[in-house]
């Protein structure tokens, strides 16, 4: 199992992988350690999500893929 991601360190532009196989780019971070606002870049389970901006739960973020 990979190390948990400290989402407080994720700035705007950071790309992250999500537990359901989707990827998203951080738009803003309220620094509460629980949520980030992010835009979906891909979503195999729900392609309609791509491009939409949602709050992403910390435990759904499994990996930092790059970006800012």
Partner 1 sequence: MMTYKGGYRPDLVDLNAGRISREIFVNEEIYREELERLFARAWLFVGHESQIPNPGDFFVSGMGEESVILCRDRADKVHVFLNSCRHRGMKVCRYDEGNTPVFTCPYHGWSYGTDGKLVGVPYFREAYREKLDKSQWGLVEVAQLCLYKGTVWASWDPAAPPFFEYLGDFLRYLDFSLDGWDGSEGGTEILGGIQKWLIPCNWKFPAENFCGDSYHNISHRSVDLVGIGPSGSGRRDMQERLMARRLQISFYDRGHQTGIYLLPKDQPMPASYQHSPIVAEYFSHCEEERRKRRGEWARVIGSPGEIFPNTALHPRQPRTIAVWHPRGAHQTEVWRWYLVDSAAPAEVKNFLRDYYIRYSGPAGMTEQDDMENWNYAHAASRGTIARRYPYSYEQGLGFETENYEWQGLHIPGTVMDITEAKSSEHNLRNLYRRWAEFMEAESWDELATWRVARAAE
Cβ(52)–Cβ(41) below 8 Å: no
Q: Is the dihedral of CA 52, 7, 34, 44 positive or negative?
A: positive
- The answer to the question of residue 55 lying near partner 1 (CB under 8 A) is yes
- The answer to the question of residue 11 lying near partner 1 (CB under 8 A) is no
Least CB distance from residue 20 to partner 1, whole Å? 9
Cβ(14)–Cβ(28) below 8 Å: no
Least CB distance from residue 32 to partner 1, whole Å? 4
- The answer to the question of residue 52 lying near partner 1 (CB under 8 A) is no
- The answer to the question of residue 51 lying near partner 1 (CB under 8 A) is no
């Amino acid at each position: 199992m990979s190390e948990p991601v400290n989402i407080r360190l994720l700035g705007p532009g950071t790309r992250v992988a999500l537990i359901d196989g989707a990827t998203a780019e951080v738009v803003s971070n309220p620094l509460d350690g629980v949520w980030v606002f992010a835009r979906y870049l891909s979503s195999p389970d729900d392609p309609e999500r791509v491009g939409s901006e949602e709050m992403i739960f910390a435990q759904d973020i499994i990996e930092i893929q790059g970006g800012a």
